[in-house]
Amino acid sequence: MENLSYANGTSGIALRGETIGEALLRTVEKYGDREALVVVEQGYRATYRELWEQATVLAKALMAVGVKKGDRVAIWAANRYEWVLTQFATPRVGAIMVNINPGFKNEGVEYVLKQSEVNLLITAQRFKATDYIDILNTIRPHCPYPSNRTVILDRSWSKFLELSRNISDEELAEREASLSFDDPINIQYTSGTTGLPKGATLTHHNIVNNGFFIGEGQRLTENDRVCIPVPFYHCFGMVLGNLACITHGACMVIPGEVFEPELVMKTAQDEKCTALYGVPTMFIAELAHPSFGKYDFSLLRTGIMAGSPCPVDSMEQVIAKMHMKEVTICYGMTETSPVSTQSMYNDPVDRRTATVGKVHPHVEVKIIDPKTGKIVPRGERGELCTRGYSVMLGYWNDAESTAKVIDRNGWMHSGDVATMDSEGYVAIVGRTKDIIIRGGENISPKEIEDFLIKHEGIQDVQVIGVPSEKYGEEVMAWVKRQPGFDYGEEELARYCKGRIATFKTPKYWKFVEEFPMTAAGKIRKVEMREIAAKELGLEKVKSIHTED
């Protein structure tokens, strides 16, 4: 097996056999007086003991309105302290928390409410310019969600919490005693960059352990303060962020509802954060911000960069200018709770940019030939698969879709194209659906992106395939210029000439200020293709490649 692309994560630390409530209580008993949660925009602060007490009140309120074990309690809001309380109250009563993307509009919300058969909805009044109440009123006639069981933050939250007085400590304790760490506890809908979102159903065991070992990978302790500007509705915020913190006694520091570069930098400085999270585009935005130089990052030590590949230059700047010498890279997917591989805090920079680290503790990964199912030799490309405690129970109420991704041996098929080197480091080299096929040539967008990002005038770049009558697809690059640079496609074409293969050189260029993104910070390449096809007049040209 040494020469094959298979690895299993050995560890001297056992898996934790506990529910989310038990994990939190363990930390409360050890670090009750230490600060647990800070939400800057709301002016909210709580110690671990206060967080436990407030989650207790919410748990009792849920029971008071009849929430039973296995009921679905949805939360539709951006990053707020009430979101965190809901995250720790629902599992204590055995309810399954349903995360609703705050960016969803009518169709998305209606689909999630129907598909997960929500029993109670906790919602904000609005998100940015979107009025949630208007949306709920619009979909109500044809979406039978329980409108009489809706809790609106900033309107009925306090009144709802008062219902907790109808439930005794003994009743809550009895409910908690009936729970198992193998119970489903969370439904996270995949980003939905293509097709209808699918509800990955996760257990206490899935996400408590994944959060714990993610924290171990950063060497988190009760002395750490982790700045979390990534969204809670996604695994990055609630597992890599909140659960990694509570399993180590670290403090969760939330700048605000959404990512704002300067607010994040100010929060990291003022709250004396030792760790900072973000997708690469977030770090790039911070580094490029005109006020970057006025903030003090000297206390930063570690953090996580995940969601998409990180350019070498950006990683080097994060380490040098933000003092994050121990920043780690994580890879995974919602369906695996999410992290399957992680770089070590002391890995060389090239390992933290060219790879996504090694297999996580208590997890197996393999890279297979998708046609034969056989494990490929190390160094060869294939589809990355994961097996272990982290694999979801399945997609909620969707056995057919589940069977397509989890095989009879329990392996979760990622759809990602990867390689594993002789030391066990995994590199993601593309998606099976992300490959551009131009005249029979398979082209990796990542390869072209890695080349173009070296241009001194490019701050960020995304490469897609667009329809072509002649070749099936042509290469297109969306470019975000560095501040102070003004150039056109001619210069970039000259930059490519002789340096990359002609068939890999983008035929089309588009200069942008931002890329279409999901609320989780992932680039929406499907939307980019749709925009490009329309702008280029290629809508009626059939493309070989249409999905992410």
Task: Provide the token pair at 267.
Answer: 């929060």
Asked whether residue 191 carries a pLDDT value surpassing 90, the answer given is no
Binning pLDDT at 50, 70 and 90, where does residue 546 land?
A: very low
Instruction: State the pLDDT at residue 193.
Output: 33
1-57 pLDDT tens trace = 679 999 999 999 999 999 999 999 999 999 999 999 999 999 999 999 999 999 999
Binning pLDDT at 50, 70 and 90, where does residue 394 land?
A: very high
Mean pLDDT for 438-465 is: 88
CA distance 252 to 296: 19
Domain of 485? 436-535
Q: For position 464, which CATH number holds?
A: 3.30.300.30
Instruction: Specify the pTM.
Output: 0.86
Asked whether residue 335 carries a pLDDT value surpassing 50, the answer given is yes
Domains identified in the chain, total number: 1
489-511 pLDDT tens trace = 999 999 998 888 788 899 999 99
Instruction: State the pLDDT at residue 153.
Output: 96
Count of other CB atoms within 10 angstroms of residue 129: 5
Of 152-161, 291-300, 314-323, 514-523, the poorest mean pLDDT is in 514-523
Asked whether residue 514 carries a pLDDT value surpassing 60, the answer given is yes
Binning pLDDT at 50, 70 and 90, where does residue 519 land?
A: low
Asked whether residue 195 carries a pLDDT value surpassing 60, the answer given is no
Of 170-174, 339-343, 404-408, 446-450, the poorest mean pLDDT is in 446-450
Q: Specify if 265 maps to a domain.
A: no
Binning pLDDT at 50, 70 and 90, where does residue 419 land?
A: very high
Q: In three state form, how does the secondary structure of 158-193 look?
A: HHHHHHHHHCCHHHHHHHHHCCCCCCEEEEEECCCC
Q: Specify if 53 maps to a domain.
A: no
Asked whether residue 547 carries a pLDDT value surpassing 70, the answer given is no
Q: Specify if 316 maps to a domain.
A: no
Instruction: State the pLDDT at residue 260.
Output: 97
Binning pLDDT at 50, 70 and 90, where does residue 67 land?
A: very high
Closest alpha carbon to 429 in 385, 473, 384, 391? 384
Instruction: State the pLDDT at residue 503.
Output: 81
Instruction: State the pLDDT at residue 313.
Output: 83
Binning pLDDT at 50, 70 and 90, where does residue 521 land?
A: confident
CA distance 500 to 494: 11
470-484 pLDDT tens trace = 778 899 999 999 999
Of the chain, the percentage scoring pLDDT greater than 70 comes to 95
344-365 pLDDT tens trace = 999 998 898 889 999 999 999 9
Binning pLDDT at 50, 70 and 90, where does residue 142 land?
A: confident
CA R_g for the chain:
23
Mean pLDDT for 65-83 is: 97
Mean pLDDT for 417-425 is: 96
Would you say 434 and 506 are in contact if contact means Cβ atoms under 8 Å apart? no
User: Parallel, antiparallel, or unpaired: how do β-strands 251-254 and 35-39 relate?
Assistant: parallel
Asked whether residue 293 carries a pLDDT value surpassing 60, the answer given is yes
Amino acid, single-letter form, for residue 346:
N
Report the interhelical angle of 204-217 vs 20-31 (nearest 10°). Answer: 40
Q: Specify if 467 maps to a domain.
A: yes
Of the chain, the percentage scoring pLDDT greater than 90 comes to 79
Instruction: State the pLDDT at residue 147.
Output: 65
92-117 pLDDT tens trace = 999 999 999 888 888 889 989 999 99
Asked whether residue 548 carries a pLDDT value surpassing 50, the answer given is no
Q: Specify if 16 maps to a domain.
A: no
Instruction: State the pLDDT at residue 544.
Output: 34
Q: Specify if 300 maps to a domain.
A: no
Of 8-22, 57-71, 159-173, 279-293, the poorest mean pLDDT is in 279-293
Q: Specify if 230 maps to a domain.
A: no
Binning pLDDT at 50, 70 and 90, where does residue 440 land?
A: low
458-480 residues labelled b (16+ CB within 10 A) or e (exposed): bbbbbbbbbbbeebbbbbbbbbb
Instruction: State the pLDDT at residue 75.
Output: 98
Report the interhelical angle of 81-89 vs 20-31 (nearest 10°). Answer: 110
Residue of higher predicted confidence among 142 and 136: 136
Q: Specify if 442 maps to a domain.
A: yes
Instruction: State the pLDDT at residue 161.
Output: 98
Of 218-227, 282-291, 522-531, the poorest mean pLDDT is in 522-531
Task: Provide the token pair at 92.
Answer: 């204590």
Q: What DSSP string describes 63-83? A: HHTT--TT-EEEEE-SS-HHH
Report the interhelical angle of 48-64 vs 169-177 (nearest 10°). Answer: 90
Closest alpha carbon to 37 in 24, 25, 26, 50? 50
